[in-house]
Amino acid sequence: MIRLPLVLFFSAVLFSAGVYGVLARRNAVLVLMSIELMLNAVNVNLIAFSQALHDLTGQAFALFVIAVAAAEVGIGLAIVILIYRNRETINIDEVNLLKW
Amino acid sequence: MAADWIVFWVCAPISIGSAIAMLLQRNAVHAALFLIVNLFTVAVLYLVLGAPFLFAVQIIVYAGAIMVLFLFVIMLLGVDREERLVERLRGQRTAAILLGLGVVGEVVFAIRAGVGFSTRAPAGFGAANGGGNPQALGRLLFRAYFLPFEVTSILLMVAAVAAMVLARRRERPVASAERRAQEPIEPSEPSEPSEPREEEPVG
Amino acid sequence: MLGQFLSHPPVELGPIGPELVLAGAGVLVLLGGALVRRRQPRALLLASLAGLTGAAVVSVSLWRWRGHATVLGGMVQADRFAVVARLILLGVAALALVLGHHYFERLGEERPEFYPLVLFTTLGMTLITAAADLILVFLALEILSLSLYVLTALSRRLAAVEGSMKYFLLGAFSSAFFLYGVAMAYGATGSTHLSTIARSLAGQTGNQALALAAVALLVIGFGFKVAAVPFHMWTPDVYQGAPTAVTAYMSAATKVAAFAAFLRVLMTSFQPLTWDWTPIVWGLAVATMIVGSVLAIAQTDIKRMLAYSSIAHAGFVLVGVSAATQEGIQSALFYLLAYAATILGAFGVVMLASGRGEEHTSLGSYAGLCRRSPLLAGLMSLFLLSMAGIPPTAGFIAKVNVFRAAVDAGHWGVALVGVLASVVAAFFYIRVMVLMYMQEPLEDVEPDPSIVPRLAVAVPALLTLLFGVFPGLVLGLLERASVLRW
Amino acid sequence: MDWLDWLLLAARVVVVFFVLLLSVILLVWVERKVVADMQTRKGPMRAGPRGVLVSLADGIKLFFKEGITPALADRPVYLIAPIVSMLPAFLAFAVIPFGTGVTLFGRRVPFQIADLNVGILWVLAMSSMMVYGIVLAGWSSGSNYPLLGSIRSSAQMISYEVGMALALVSVLMYSGHLRMTQIVAAQDRVWNVVPQLPAFVIYLIAGLAETNRPPFDLPEAETELVAGYHTEYSGIKFAMFYLAEYLNTVTVAAIATTLFLGGWRGPHPEHLAWLWPILWFVVKVLAIIYAYIWIRATLPRFRYDRLMAFGWKVLIPFGLVWVLATGAVIVLPDVYGRRPVVIGAAAVLAVVLLLSLLWSALARRRETVEAPS
């Protein structure tokens, strides 16, 4: 069995890679992909805990997370398409009608 | 050296490498491909971590559906031209790196502080996985977690309706031609520039 | 064979009755809007209102629930806290539906999806107030967020769509943090049930360090949803961009739902760690009150100003949360009630006063509103007074309660900052009133003369006055509702 | 597992790989011959007896042809796309039991590469991977026809995958297992095709769409898109796409055989007991492939919007109703017993559902007749 801290560290690295992507990338689709990366890292965490605790709750939760991720991507891409139709760009810097 | 150990040390570096490659890729399609590699390696890790069902689900849902959707949208919008990686807001990248490191640091701290993990249940994973992992997961889902399961179905329905509402072009009357002639072609909307791409067929 | 799966534990559907009613009504209205050839927005509105009423009746009947404290495998808590929060949410949804119906009718756009989406959002919100398991909290949070992203973009204005994208990206980002927190809590204690987590932490069997990380991450997640300060960036844009009726709905309801869940999670699961998380909540409260109040002064758009003001109000509720006592819960609940009524009414007035859609939302177009429509100006003044916390209104009682709870819990400093922030905030509320009453109208904007939406705005106005003058009417009920057990 | 087990596993992998390649070479010839026969032609006659070596000759030709990479192509993706399109078909075959097995060196050797406990999901996962080869090929070619073909195909394959998944779900509900060997074992009395006939039909249709065979060959639609996603491919890379397409056909037929036609089951004498199941398996697979070829020779290509409408408005609702019905048949007797009232009520409900489906389909037909666009 792989030691739990190792897996946790692995998933933390993935998660922070996702955080970096969300904050540093400008293309909305890539930001969305980075968010997927973060959710994925959380799933790794849940499944690793599930194995360490000998309890299937973590796996069930990961299943729900995957379903939610799918729903999120569907809506996110729909919004991206909508904004592209309006402005011909999905660069979130150029979408600056509203101030931060 | 156990097999799962080897698999982990093969997959984890590839996974992290592809995640980082995805972040540094200028081309959106290449980034999506690296994310697919990442998702695959993570799926293999699920297998090693005792979750064969999630391994399959991960490939079917993430790699098979979500990422295809991403590629589809990237291609459809033609936004796959190179993205400038120059930051507009100064220091944003630094802030991102710091925040990322912060997350890792927090976890490392948490792990180090809690070395002795409470593995309460002495019974092995085999007991929890009685009758095979998919079967055990199914029992759990349809007994203890059947409310979240149903709630998820509502969530997915909302998402389906929502995506349709958002991505649908402004509807034209589908009915007969004379009605179409009487009505204005665009529902009047003064605050918005007209959409030149309105005439394309919906794919 | 699959038959073996069916021997499930006894099913008590009572405590999720309101959600079942809402789901049924939502599906019916959705099908009605899609299938019925001659769409009748009014019929959809009435059907939705009937659904909300049914859900409210079921909720009230749960006040005297005698079954198990948690049902459906420990997923749902059947307590009075949930009943009260649900009733507030259902009321907000009903008024928002009336406003939204009018909004889209006046805009000349047919949006049959508006009604089912509001019903499903409300379902997510009511569910989150009763959820006793982090998995369910997460799912309900996602239902309400996903529907809100869509509701924001419903008018298809450019600003609405951009607001929706900003909301979506930041919301999804924050739910990833929330999720990471849940994973940590699960890893620390081996369970996602709120009460099991609490028992494990109290019995020192859980991993405290991981649990602390979990609290921090969960606070980030909730902080985004309630728009507390370092996580508030989306609020002004979304509130300004969204259709005003939707803004009214989400500014009132989202905060109630998210705070209800926030309170439940912090005060049950992480009660054993109270001493660790109260400083975080203080910090959030102080930052939120100050930043919200100060930035509101600089705004020139009424919707943006109200958005910043709602951020500041989140700070005041956080003061109540940081007390971490029953009194704190009670004061937070009362504050949420007063806030919901006030902000809903205020955005309702904005909707009526600013022409079709969002044509006139600059502060300048409010100059001389009392000449054009004394009623709207009067209502707006009442809501502004309540937000500023000036005596005969509910806002005053709410602020006093929150500060008293904080002081009783020994948090003097937070209460002091709160008082100062209220003084700063009073400035810009009164500035709007001066505009409305003492200046000549600059633009010739005809306020909407319709009766029904005015009634919908008058209801929260009456409540604001009523709770301001006779707070005892609800305070007793709230006291009995503010018991969170584990 | 010791070294002998690993060796046997490797042997099985190699054998399956080469048998699949061989079967593709034969299949191309069979298809051409059968289609020719149906069109009263002779088909290929020159290479080998009755032209049996024609595809081998084709392959050799393609292998020695110059491979051209378009200037606008995205090189790395352009190169990996053909490989990506071949892999899933091979991998999906890994879980299919093509025989009972044999005893060698005192140990049991199953005729199956890996008996995963999520076998049916593995099949689904691999079929969802099939789309990548096409999508990537179309995008990386840097040209419009391939791009259009690949966008069409990604929409088409994702849509039909849902129908396919619904068919698989009802099978797995009926047999109660995810493991392929157990699904085959559960068909010892009745093949699944009898109780699950609608699922079988759905699977075959979705399988056609998944493999981009006519009448669902929109991604390459040569009359509209030159050659669709592989317009810009030539030489060995084109051969790989060709190979992948037929491999997919074989795999889909093999899966259908395993899930619905009882896999390797069939009456056989005791003599050479290990060989007969393989023969039965091959015969069944060939039967399905013959049906596919027949369909190809018979039906014209769908129009794209009709294709999507069929997938979403007919196949998926029908699949959903069938999953519901299967679930009801399995669960209701356990809950309510076999009382006639319950069975009657369920039957009435089923009839109403079917009628409403039929009605809506007819109503749509009427609408399209009234308002041609």
Instruction: Please give the Cα distance from D204 to D201 (Å, whole number).
Output: 5
Q: Do B165 and C117 touch (CB under 8 A)?
A: yes
Best mutation target among B25, B71, B77, B129 (most D Cβ atoms within 10 Å) is B71
Task: Look up residue C415 and give its two tokens.
Answer: 């209460």
**Residues of chain C positioned with their CB less than 8 A from the CB of A52:** 187
Q: Name the D residues in 328-347 with CB < 8 Å from any C CB.
A: 330-331, 333-335
Q: What percent of chain D has pLDDT over 70?
A: 93
Q: Which CATH number goes with the domain that contains A64? A: 1.10.287.3510
Q: Is the pLDDT of residue A62 over 90?
A: yes
Q: How far is CA A72 from the centre of its chain?
A: 10
Give A91→chain C minimum CA distance, Å: 11
Best mutation target among D72, D120, D135 (most B Cβ atoms within 10 Å) is D135
Instruction: Please give the Cα distance from D139 to D141 (Å, whole number).
Output: 6
Mean pLDDT confidence for D145-159: 82
CA distances from D213 to C173, D94, D157, D209, D236 (A): 42, 23, 12, 6, 21
Give B63→chain D minimum CA distance, Å: 7
Structural domain boundaries, residue A60:
4-87
Domain spans in chain D, listed from the N-terminal domain onward: 67-302, 306-373
Q: Is the pLDDT of residue A98 over 60?
A: no
Q: Do B19 and A17 touch (CB under 8 A)?
A: yes
Q: What percent of chain C has pLDDT over 90?
A: 44
Q: Is the pLDDT of residue B192 over 50?
A: no
Question: Measured between CB atoms, does C308 come within 8 Å of chain A?
Answer: no
For residue D209, what pLDDT band results from cuts at 50, 70 and 90? confident
Closest CA to C197 of C272, C256, C249, C294: C272
Task: Look up residue D206 and give its two tokens.
Answer: 């979705």
Closest CB from B36, B64, B75 relative to D151: B75
Is residue A93 in some structural domain?
no
Instruction: Please give the Cα distance from A47 to C19 (Å, whole number).
Output: 30
Q: Is the pLDDT of residue C334 over 90?
A: yes
State residue C115's pLDDT score: 92
Give A43→chain B minimum CA distance, Å: 9
Q: Is the pLDDT of residue B202 over 70?
A: no
Of the CA atoms within 13 Å of residue C413, those in its CB half-sphere come to 8
> Length of chain D, please?
373
For residue B126, what pLDDT band results from cuts at 50, 70 and 90? low
Instruction: Please give the Cα distance from D84 to B40 (Å, whole number).
Output: 13
Q: Do D154 and B174 touch (CB under 8 A)?
A: no
Cβ C75 vs Cβ C194: under 8 Å:
no
* pLDDT tens-digit map of B9-36: 899 999 999 999 998 888 888 899 999 9
Q: Taking CA C21 as the corner, what is the angle to CA C17 and CA C26, rounded to the nearest 5 degrees?
A: 145
**Residues of chain C positioned with their CB less than 8 A from the CB of D176:** 1-2
Q: Is the pLDDT of residue B182 over 70?
A: no
State residue B82's pLDDT score: 54
Give B2→chain C minimum CA distance, Å: 25
Q: What percent of chain D has pLDDT over 90?
A: 5
Give D230→chain C minimum CA distance, Å: 36
Q: What is the pLDDT of chain C when averaged over all its residues?
A: 87
Best mutation target among A25, A33, A65 (most C Cβ atoms within 10 Å) is A65
Question: Measured between CB atoms, does C2 come within 8 Å of chain D?
Answer: yes
Q: Which residue has the higher pLDDT, D261 or D219?
A: D261
Best mutation target among B108, B118, B142 (most C Cβ atoms within 10 Å) is B118
Q: Do D116 and B203 touch (CB under 8 A)?
A: no
Is residue A98 in some structural domain?
no
Question: Measured between CB atoms, does A39 come within 8 Å of chain B?
Answer: no
How many interchain CB pairs under 8 A, C with D? 16
Closest CB from B64, B132, B133 relative to D129: B64
State residue B81's pLDDT score: 58
Q: Do C72 and B146 touch (CB under 8 A)?
A: yes
Q: Is the pLDDT of residue C128 over 90?
A: yes
Question: Measured between CB atoms, does D173 come within 8 Å of chain C?
Answer: yes
Task: Look up residue D302 and give its two tokens.
Answer: 């769908």
Q: What is the DSSP string of C40-78?
A: -HHHHHHHHHHHHHHHHHHHHHGGG--S-SEETTTTEE-
Instruction: Please give the Cα distance from B159 to A5 (Å, whole number).
Output: 36
A/D Cβ contact: 3+ pairs below 8 Å: no
For residue B189, what pLDDT band results from cuts at 50, 70 and 90? very low
Question: Measured between CB atoms, does B152 come within 8 Å of chain A?
Answer: yes
Partners of D107 in the beta sheet?
D104
* pLDDT tens-digit map of B42-100: 999 998 888 889 999 999 888 888 998 888 888 877 765 555 544 455 566 677 777 77
State residue B173's pLDDT score: 40
Task: Look up residue C81 and give its two tokens.
Answer: 């806290």
Number of domains in chain A: 1
What is the pairing mode between strands C70-71 and C76-77? Answer: antiparallel
Is residue A49 in some structural domain?
yes
State residue D145's pLDDT score: 80
For residue B121, what pLDDT band results from cuts at 50, 70 and 90? very low
Q: Name the D residues in 215-244 with CB < 8 Å from any C CB.
A: none
Listed range (C129-143, C172-186, C421-435) with the worst mean pLDDT:
C421-435
Q: Which residue has the higher pLDDT, B175 or D221?
A: D221
Q: How far is CA D318 from the centre of its chain?
A: 19
Instruction: Please give the Cα distance from D54 to D67 (Å, whole number).
Output: 21
* pLDDT tens-digit map of D166-192: 999 998 888 888 888 888 888 888 888
Chain C adjacent subunits, 3+ CB pairs under 8 A? A, B, D
**Residues of chain B positioned with their CB less than 8 A from the CB of A21:** 22-23
SS (H, E, C) chain B: CCHHHHHHHHHHHHHHHHHHHHHHCCCHHHHHHHHHHHHHHHHHHHHHCCCHHHHHHHHHHHHHHHHHHHHHHHHHHCCCCCCCCCCCCCCHHHHHHHHHHHHHHHHHHHHHHCCCCCCCCCCCHHHHCCCCHHHHHHHHHHCCCHHHHHHHHHHHHHHHHHHHHHHCCCCCCCCCHHHHHHCCCCCCCCCCCCCHHHHCCCC
Shortest CA distance from B148: residue in chain C: C136
Q: Do D128 and B176 touch (CB under 8 A)?
A: no
Mean pLDDT confidence for D117-125: 86
Q: Do B68 and D135 touch (CB under 8 A)?
A: yes
Q: Name the C residues in 132-191 with CB < 8 Å from any A CB.
A: 135, 138-139, 142, 146, 149-150, 153, 156, 158-159, 161-166, 168-169, 172-173, 175-176, 179-180, 182-184, 186-187, 190-191
Shortest CA distance from B32: residue in chain D: D136
Q: Do C3 and D327 touch (CB under 8 A)?
A: no
Instruction: Please give the Cα distance from D32 to D297 (Å, whole number).
Output: 10
Amino acid letter for position D180: M
**Residues of chain C positioned with their CB less than 8 A from the CB of A27:** none
Instruction: Please give the Cα distance from A44 to B38 (Å, whole number).
Output: 12
State residue C4's pLDDT score: 47
Instruction: Please give the Cα distance from D313 to D310 (Å, whole number).
Output: 5
Task: Look up residue C389 and give its two tokens.
Answer: 């916390």
Question: Measured between CB atoms, does C298 come within 8 Å of chain A?
Answer: no
Instruction: Find which of A33-47, B161-175, D137-151 is predicted with most confidence, using mean pLDDT.
Output: A33-47
**Residues of chain A positioned with their CB less than 8 A from the CB of B35:** 33, 36-37
Task: Look up residue B169 and give its two tokens.
Answer: 């072009």
For residue B196, what pLDDT band results from cuts at 50, 70 and 90? very low
**Residues of chain C positioned with their CB less than 8 A from the CB of A83:** 161-162, 165
State residue D300's pLDDT score: 82
Question: What b/e sequence results for C133-161 when a residue is b if at least 16 CB atoms lie within 10 Å of its CB, and e otherwise?
Answer: bbbbbbbbbbbbbbbbbbbbbbbbbbbbb
State residue C25's pLDDT score: 94
Q: How far is CA D3 from the centre of its chain?
A: 34
Mean pLDDT confidence for A77-86: 85
Listed range (C249-258, C371-380, C476-485, D264-273) with the worst mean pLDDT:
D264-273
How many interchain CB pairs under 8 A, A with B? 229
Q: Do C192 and A61 touch (CB under 8 A)?
A: yes
The complex scores an ipTM of 0.89
**Residues of chain A positioned with their CB less than 8 A from the CB of C210:** none
Instruction: Please give the Cα distance from C88 to D247 (Å, whole number).
Output: 61
For residue D365, what pLDDT band results from cuts at 50, 70 and 90? low
Q: What is the pLDDT of chain B when averaged over all its residues?
A: 72
Mean pLDDT confidence for C26-38: 84
Is residue A95 in some structural domain?
no
Shortest CA distance from C4: residue in chain D: D334
* pLDDT tens-digit map of D16-31: 888 888 888 888 888 8
Q: Do C109 and B187 touch (CB under 8 A)?
A: yes
Instruction: Please give the Cα distance from D202 to B131 (Å, whole number).
Output: 30
Please state, as a whole number, how many other Cβ atoms lie within 10 Å of the Cβ of residue B183: 10
Give A97→chain B minimum CA distance, Å: 13
State residue B83's pLDDT score: 54
For residue D272, what pLDDT band results from cuts at 50, 70 and 90? confident
Shortest CA distance from C8: residue in chain D: D335
* pLDDT tens-digit map of C202-225: 887 777 888 888 898 999 999 999
Mean pLDDT confidence for B127-150: 80
Phi, psi (degrees; rounded to nearest 5) at A46: -60, -40
Amino acid letter for position B198: E
Amino acid letter for position D197: L
Residue carrying structure tokens 């039967």:
D287
Shortest CA distance from D74: residue in chain B: B30
Q: Is the pLDDT of residue D241 over 80?
A: yes
Give C141→chain A minimum CA distance, Å: 11
Task: Look up residue C230 and give its two tokens.
Answer: 């370092």
Listed range (A68-82, C92-106, C267-281, C352-366) with the worst mean pLDDT:
C352-366
Cβ D125 vs Cβ B60: under 8 Å:
yes
For residue A95, what pLDDT band results from cuts at 50, 70 and 90? low
Q: Is the pLDDT of residue C105 over 50?
A: yes
